[in-house]
Amino acid sequence: MLGASPPLQIKHLGTVDYGATLKAMQDFTLARGPNTPDELWICEHPPVYTLGLSGHREDLHQDLGFSLVQTNRGGQITYHGPGQVLAYPLLDLARRGYFVKEYVHRLEESVIKCLNAWGLSAYRVPGAPGVYANPQDPQGHATWPTLLQRWQDTGHPLVDPPGVNFAGLAKIAALGIKVSRHCTYHGVALNVAMDLAPFGAIHPCGHPGLQVTDLRHLGLVLNSAQVAQDWAQKLALHLAA
């Protein structure tokens, strides 16, 4: 029933170690019972690469001295660092009444609606979970089919399945989740104002050559604290509806 979900407790953790946060999420999920309140953890991490269950260590092709942590989330390789806001929803999906596919859609939609509210356009790319933006026209209102057609018209071939066609878009939010006994952890990373160079040492999310961007490079000057407050509220609403 619309609006029937229990309140979501939002916790702003600041800058915290990735490994310690992962263990805390796992411990929370293991210990929770049917009446445990759902929580949303918002934080940042010091520089670290993380590898999902589908990832390959070969996707880290340059050693920059950062740790590489094997995780149990879905997805492949990504980078976390200062200037990136992480949202970790710890939810009981059975209690909330929706399945994993809808959960992923709600996570992505919270980012898309935030970017729209800040005057930026945002996109989903079929076959590549996450949220994307157009670095050449961040405020443009072209639809996904239009972007694909423009990409082809400029001489770039379309990619047939199982390939993924990003049509010149750049990733601004990466998604990787884990569901255990209908309960979620891990989550979404939104790039705010980062040093993007570490992404150049990997194949982001397993895609060689995939561009990565952040709000600053799209012309939006916000600090992580502002983004964390705004996004947390929108995410809580999207997860509750």
pLDDT band at 5 (very low <50, low <70, confident <90, very high): low
Is 119:112 a contact under the CB 8 Å cutoff? no
Q: In angstroms, what CA-CA distances link 143 with 109, 119, 124, 129?
A: 16, 16, 10, 17
pLDDT for residue 1 is more than 50: no
Q: What is the pLDDT of residues 156-179, one digit of tens each?
A: 888 876 679 999 999 999 999 999
CA–CA dist 29, 220 (Å, integer): 36
pLDDT tens by residue, 86-101: 999 999 999 999 999 9
Domains of the chain, start order = 9-240 (3.30.930.10)
Q: What's the mean pLDDT in 3-19?
A: 86
With the CA atoms of 205, 187, 106 and 75 taken in that order, what torsion angle do they form, in degrees rounded to the nearest 10?
Answer: 30
Of 62, 111, 98, give the one whose Cα is nearest residue 184. 98
Question: How many residues in total does the chain contain?
Answer: 241
Decide if pLDDT at 6 tops 90. no
Which residues are marked as active site? 205
Alpha helix positions (H), 80-210: 93-96, 100-117, 144-153
In tens, the pLDDT along 106-115 reads 999 999 999 9
Q: Tell me the percentage of the chain whose pLDDT exceeds 70.
A: 96
Task: Please state the pTM of the whole predicted model.
Answer: 0.95
Buried b (16+ CB within 10 A) or exposed e, 149-174: ebbeeeeeeeeeeeeebbbbbbbbbb
